[in-house]
Amino acid sequence: MNHRLANVLGALSMFASAVVTNAQDADAAVRIMPPPGCGFIRLPQPVGELTARYFHCANSFILIKFHWSGGNTGTACIPPFYQHPFFRADGQEVVNAYYVSTPPNLTGPPDDLRCSLTQPRV
């Protein structure tokens, strides 16, 4: 199975399992379905601790920078056609995330690249 198909199937299974686990919540499916676009999307209402997602809609690895409500920042490597969830932590939420032109650190052979555990700070 190629990496892109595995990412898509993984994302679909996460959405499906979230719908099943929140069956009592009538509008849970609406809040967790993927949006029509790409990029940073805040959920209208949190689903548990999940508050936002970043949807990457291209066949490339990218680096994103994100901002917490308390002022801290971070970076994350995003694989092709992947979605990155953001969860509430210590009472703070990620309020924005966006692509930066700095290339991410990658590891692995050329036909099976993956994000490295450490990423550049920008």
Residue 28: closest CA among 46, 12, 53: 46
More confident residue, 19 or 90: 90
CA distance 92 to 89: 5
Radius of gyration of the chain measured on its C-alpha atoms: 15
Distance in angstroms (rounded) separating the CA atoms of residues 94 and 58: 22
* Beta-bridge mates of residue 50: 47, 87
Average pLDDT over all residues of the chain: 81
* Mean pLDDT score, 80-95: 96
Alpha helices in 22-99 (DSSP H): 28-32
Domain boundaries, the chain: 3-115
Q: Could you tell me which residue, 32 or 107, shows the higher pLDDT?
A: 107
pLDDT per position as a tens digit, 35-72? 568 999 999 999 999 999 999 999 999 999 999 999 99
